[in-house]
Amino acid sequence: MTRTLASRRSSRRLAADAGLLAVAAAFCLPLAWVLLSSVDSHADLRVKAPDGLTLDNFDAILTDDITFTPLLNSLILCGGATLLTVVCAALAAYPLSRFRSRLNRPFLLTILFATSLPITAIMVPVYALFVQVDLIDTMQGTIFFFAASQLPFAIWLMKNFMDGVPKELEEAAWTDGASSLQSLIRIVLPLMGPGVAVVTVFSFVMMWGNFFVPFMLLLTPDQMPASVSINEFFGNRGMVAYGQLAAFSIVYSTPVILLYVLISRRLGGGFALGGAVKG
């Protein structure tokens, strides 16, 4: 009986390991294709060792029109929208976390429903509205819409992290004459640094890879971000510059990786506020 149970556990463990390896391969193969094809002068859809290492693909894409200008546009759009999202999410989450009201739960459920709306379903009325208010084909209009689309989920995340900061710390600051805004800026936000980092990374990554919104709201080619300009590598009649596409993908992914590396220490931190409040 004991041997039977042990054999069953062993077979289940092997099946689980095989499943995990299959999932890992599903993620690793596309990455391997990108890395290998970027240095292959005869790249195609197959994952293969390059015939000869070359940097010609990078030389072809590292120009102002193909890479640098679209990347700068992406940084302006996503950076500005991320900053606006984090600030508005903190201001909206603070009263939801600190003050009890009958409207809190309906409001949270409403914004949760807003996150489930497909972006394609609201782009037609948004486009018509932007035309009316003269925000179409403007960077600031696209930034506003980026921030508005990410704000509901950012408020949910920010509130959950803000709930972990003891209110007693703010009450002590209020006793010393601090206002609610001052306690938010000087006490709550510094203590929930990992939460702010999570919201920042999540918002930036979701905006960085968004193709549809800037494609619809921006018309001038010089304002297009890298998420839209990558479409230029797909030529007519199925002709694709696979090597250049892979090289551009690596360059395009670099800002997101750098952002994560820069704030990874904050992401790994904890609140550890147990000793901050004396019982």
Same domain, 98 and 178: yes
Which residue shows structure tokens 């590598």?
A: 233
Most confident range, picked from 10-24, 81-95, 112-126, 231-245? 81-95
Task: Report the predicted TM-score, pTM, of the whole model to 2 decimal places.
Answer: 0.82
CA distance 104 to 101: 5
The answer to whether the beta carbons of residues 155 and 94 sit under 8 Å apart is no
Spatial CB neighbours of 255, under 8 Å, sequence gap ≥ 6: 71, 74, 75, 208
Same domain, 49 and 105: no
Helical pair 242-267 and 2-38, crossing angle rounded to 10 deg: 120
Domain boundary among 219, 245, 263: 219
The reply to whether 249 falls in a domain is no
Q: What are the backbone dihedrals phi and psi of residue 53, each rounded to the nearest 5 degrees, phi first?
A: -65, 135
Same domain, 70 and 196: yes
The answer to whether the beta carbons of residues 267 and 198 sit under 8 Å apart is yes
Dihedral of the alpha carbons of 226, 230, 231, 236, in degrees to the nearest 10: 140
Residue type, 45: L
The reply to whether 242 falls in a domain is no
The residue among 82 and 191 whose pLDDT is bigger is 82
Same domain, 21 and 111: no
Question: Which of the residue ranges 18-22, 49-53, 104-108, 270-274 would you say has the lowest mean pLDDT?
Answer: 270-274
pLDDT of residue 184: 84
Same domain, 202 and 88: yes
Give me 21's structure tokens.
């390896």
Spatial CB neighbours of 7, under 8 Å, sequence gap ≥ 6: none
> Which percentage of the chain shows pLDDT scores above 90?
29
| Number of structural domains found in the chain | 2
Same domain, 131 and 178: yes
The reply to whether 6 falls in a domain is no
Same domain, 185 and 130: yes
Same domain, 48 and 141: no
The reply to whether 246 falls in a domain is no
The reply to whether 278 falls in a domain is no
The arithmetic mean of pLDDT across residues 7-14, rounded, is 77
User: Residue 225: pLDDT above 70?
Assistant: yes
The residue among 127 and 173 whose pLDDT is bigger is 127
Same domain, 46 and 69: no
- List the domain range (segments joined by +) for residue 44: 11-53
User: Residue 120: pLDDT above 90?
Assistant: no
Same domain, 103 and 198: yes
Same domain, 86 and 214: yes
Q: Where are the alpha helices (DSSP H) in the chain?
A: 2-38, 56-61, 69-98, 104-115, 119-132, 139-162, 167-175, 180-183, 189-191, 193-208, 212-217, 226-229, 242-267
Give me 64's structure tokens.
């102002």
The reply to whether 71 falls in a domain is yes
Which residue shows structure tokens 């037609």?
A: 124
The reply to whether 241 falls in a domain is no
Same domain, 34 and 170: no
Number of Cβ within 10 Å of residue 185's Cβ equals: 13
Q: Which of 171, 157, 159, 160 is nearest to 276 (CA)?
A: 171
CA distance 271 to 174: 21
The reply to whether 212 falls in a domain is yes
CATH number at residue 201: 1.10.3720.10
CA distance 76 to 139: 8
CA distance 78 to 252: 13
